[in-house]
Amino acid sequence: MKLLTNLFVVSLLNIAAFGAPALNRKITFTQPDGTQFVGKQKGDASFHWIESGSDIVIYNPKDKYYYKAIVDKEKGIVATTQKMGQRGDKVRGVNAVVLQEADPDTTTEQTLRFLHKKAKQADTPR
Amino acid sequence: MYFVIKNLHQLYRRDYSIKSFKFLFKGQAISVDFTFVFAIIKNIHNYWGKMFKSVSSILFWVVLVFLVSGCGTSKKSSSTATNTTTIETKKTTESKSVVHKILKRKIPTLVVVMNWNDYSESDPSLWHDKIFNMTKNSVNQWYAENTFNQIEFIPVHETQGNVDDGVIMVNMNKNHPGGKDKREFRDTEIRSAITNAAVVNNMDFAALDSDGDGSLNAKELQIIFIVAGGEQAYGDPQSHSIWAHSFSFDSDSTLKVDGVYVMRYTGENSTSGTYTCFGANHGTHKATIGIMCHELGHAAFFLKDYYDDGDGSGLGWYDIMSGGAWAYQPSDAYAGETPTQYTAFNKIDAKLDVNVTTLSASDEVTLGCSGRDFVKLTTSKSNEYFLLECRDTAKAHSDISFSTADTAFGDNTLFAMMYHVDTDKTDNTEDGIQTENNHYMVEVVEKDSSTLMTNTTGIYADFSDVYTQGDLITKTNLYDGSNTGYSVEIVNADYINREMTLKIIKK
C-alpha cells in the first residue's frame, strides 16, 4: 500500500509547467481485465485526476489499472487498493471523497485546487 | 552597393538560398526580407515556365522597387535576426494613448515524429500539413488568422525523406512508455529522440544560432515532438499516451546538438529554448490542431494557461489558452478542429500587432471587430484594469465555434467582451468564485450573473456572458469593492464595416 501511494504521488508531481487542458467530456475507461467505468478527466499535465460519480480516480502505470483514491492536502491524491469497476478490496472506513478530519472546512474541490496549484508552481524548469 | 548587386544577381539567377539582404539607406542599416519575393518568383519559375518569364521579370522589379522605396518612408528599426522586422509608433493625447506595434516573425520549426515498436506514424506529409500547410486546417493557418499574418512557423532545412519538409521520423526502438511523468519523459525519451542519428545526421542545429550565443532560443528554433500513440488530455489510456505539454530542459542541462545547447531554460524568456510535445492521435482520429496551437502559445510566446483546474472554466472557450483549445464549429467532426482566438489580453501579452487605446476618462471609441483593436480602462490601482474588445463570429476559423457551445452566438454576430485583469495574480487557478482575495488573473466580466467561472457542466461559452448593441456595462468595481466610476455603453454594432462603437463614461 505504501509503495502504491508513493508511486502515485511521484507520478502526479514534477511534471511540465504548461499542459493542455483536459477535454471536458465523459469518457469510458477500460481496465486491463476489460471492466469499464465512466468518468471525466480534470486538471492538466502537471496534476490530473478522474472524477467518476463521487469517486476520485487515478491511474497506476505499473499494473495499468485505475484505482479509487482519497484526497489529502499533505499527501496529495492517494490511491486506495480498490480498482474501479470491480467489487471487493474496499478499504475499510475510507470514503474516497472525505478529507482528513483535521480540516473539516476544506472541501475536496478546494484541496484538489490547492494541490494542482502547488504542483504547477513546482513544475517549472530549474 | 556591392552586396545589393550581388544579392539581386543571385536572386535573379534563381539562387533561392538567399532570404534577405542588408544595405545602408539614409544612414540606417536596412534589412529586407526576401522570403515573400522569393516565393512569388519561385512559383512563377516552377509553374509558369519560360512562357511567362518576361512577366516574372517585371513582377520581380516592381516588387523590389516597392520594397526598397518603402524602407525610406517608414520609421523602421532593423533586427539582427533576418526573419524579424519591427515597426513601432506611438500616439499620445491627454486622455488616451494608442500603441501600435508590428512584429513580423518566421520561426524555424522542426517536427520530430517519435515512433515506437507498438505505436507508429508512417506519413510525414500528414504532420507537415497539420503544422505548416497554409492552405489546410493547420497550426500555421490558425496563427496566420489570429496574429494577422505576423507569425509563421517555417520548416527547418533537413534532409530526411522529403527534403526540407521540416519533419524527421525517429524510431525509438522500444515500446511506448505510457504513464511516465513529463520530467522523466523529457530526460529519457525527448533526450533520446533529439540525439537520434536520424535527427543529428539530417539537420544542422548550429546554423540556426543566429545570435551566436551557443544556445538556441525559442525564436531561433521550435521543436515539436509528435509522439505516436494517444493523447491523455483527450482521454486516451495512459498506457500508450502522453499529455500534451510545453517544457524545457533545466538551466544546468548539458544537452547539445551540433555544438549548441537545445531546449535549455536560462531563466530568461528571451534566451530560453523550449519544446512542445503531443500525442499523435485523439482516440481513433489524428490529433486536431487546438492543443498544438495552445502549447505553441507557451513555447513561442511564453503565454500562461487560463483554464481553471477542474471546477470552473477560467476563460472558457473565449481563449485558446483555456478551453478554447478544444473548440469546434458545428460542421467539425472532432473537438479542437476550430480552436478559438486569443483574447485581447493574450494578444497583447504575446506582443502581437494590435491597437490598444488606453483611457482614463470619458470617451467614445470605434473598434474594428477583427480581433485587433482593444480598449484598456485604467483604474486607481496599477495592477487592476479592464480590457474591452469586439469579436465577430463570422471570422472563418476562430470565433464561429462559439455557436457550438450556444447557438445564440450564430454565425454572423458582433459582440463585445470585457475582461478584468489583476496583474498581481499569476494565473487562473484561484477559486472559481471571484472575491477580493481569491480571483483570477484574467476574468471575463459576464453580462449575466457569474456562471462561467464556477460552471462545471461543460458550458464553456454562453451568449448571456457577452454584450451587444444597446447594452450598458456597469460591473466595473475593483476586487476590493471600490467603484471605478466607469460604465460602458455599446452604442452601435456596424455589420457593414464590422466594427463597434463604445461610449465610455467615467464619473
Q: Cell 469499464 belongs to which residue? A: A36
Q: Which of B302, B331, B366 represents a domain boundary (last residue)? A: B302
What is the rounded distance in angstroms from the CA atom of residue B343 to the CA atom of residue B205?
Answer: 34
Q: How many domains does chain A have?
A: 1
**Strand B222-227, strand B275-279: pairing:** parallel
> pLDDT digit string (tens) for B248-298?
999 999 999 999 999 999 988 889 999 999 999 999 999 999 999 999 999
What confidence category does residue B479 fall into, taking pLDDT thresholds of 50, 70 and 90? very high
Note the pLDDT tens digit of each residue in B88-118: 333 333 344 444 454 568 999 999 999 999 9
Residue B155 pairs with which residues in a beta bridge? B109
Question: How many interface pairs between A and B have CB atoms less than 8 angstroms apart?
Answer: 136
Whether residues B388 and B273 share a domain: the answer is no
Are B243 and A29 in contact (CB < 8 Å)? no
Mean pLDDT in chain B?
A: 82
- What mean pLDDT comes out for the span A14-31? 76
* pLDDT confidence tier of residue B217, bands split at 50, 70 and 90: very high
Q: Kindly report the length of chain A.
A: 126
One domain, residues B160 and B276: yes
Select from B302, B337, B364 the last residue of a domain.
B302
Whether the per-residue pLDDT at A28 is higher than 80: the answer is yes
User: B58-84 pLDDT, tens per residue?
Assistant: 454 544 444 433 333 233 232 333 344
Inter-chain CB proximity A16 and B247 less than 8 Å: yes
B122 and B243: one domain? yes
Report yes or no on B48 lying in a domain: yes
B246 and B295 belong to one structural domain = yes
pLDDT tens for residues B450-463?
Answer: 666 666 565 678 89
Q: Nearest CA of chain A to the CA of B430: how many Å?
A: 8
Contacts of A107 (CB under 8 A, 6+ apart): A99
Q: Residue B449's pLDDT band (boundaries 50, 70, 90)? A: confident
Determine the residue of chain A that is closest to B305 in CA distance.
A18
Give the nearest partner residue to B233 out of A21, A110, A116, using CB atoms: A21
Phi then psi for B447, rounded to 5 degrees?
Answer: -65, -40
Average pLDDT over every residue of B142-151: 93
**Domain count of the fold of chain B:** 3
Please tell me whether residues B416 and B493 are part of one structural domain. yes
Please report which confidence band the pLDDT of residue B5 belongs to, taking 50, 70 and 90 as the band edges.
very low
My answer on whether B45 and B108 are in the same domain is: no
Distance of CA B92 to the CA centre of its chain: 28
Contact between B482 and B496 under an 8 Å Cβ cutoff? The reply is: no
pLDDT number for residue B106:
94
Could you tell me if residue B372 is inside a domain?
A: yes
Q: Are residues B127 and B171 in the same domain?
A: yes
Whether B369 and B444 share a structural domain: yes
The answer to whether residue B391 scores a pLDDT higher than 50 is: yes
Decide if B195 is inside a domain: yes
| Per-residue pLDDT, B375 | 98
- Are B389 and B435 in the same domain? yes
Same domain, B60 and B107: no
What is the predicted pLDDT for the residue at B218?
A: 95
**Parent domain of B135:** 102-302
Listed residues B76, B93, B120: the one ending a domain: B76
Residue scoring higher pLDDT (B172 or A62): B172
Q: Is the CB of B252 less than 8 angstroms away from the CB of A43?
A: no
Does B127 lie in the same domain as B61? no
Looking at the fold, whether B288 and B374 belong to one and the same domain comes out as no
- State mean pLDDT over A91-113: 49
Which of A26-40, B61-75, B302-316 has the lowest average pLDDT?
B61-75
**Interface with chain B: mutation pick from A15, A51, A64, highest number of B CBs within 10 Å:** A15
pLDDT band per the 50, 70, 90 thresholds, residue B12: very low
In DSSP terms, B390 is beta-bridged to B416
Task: Give the count of beta carbons closer than 10 Å to the beta carbon of residue B102.
Answer: 16
Question: The domain containing residue A20 runs over which residues?
Answer: 2-122
Tell me the nearest-neighbour CA distance from B325 into chain A, angstroms. Answer: 8
A120 and chain B in contact, CB less than 8 A: yes
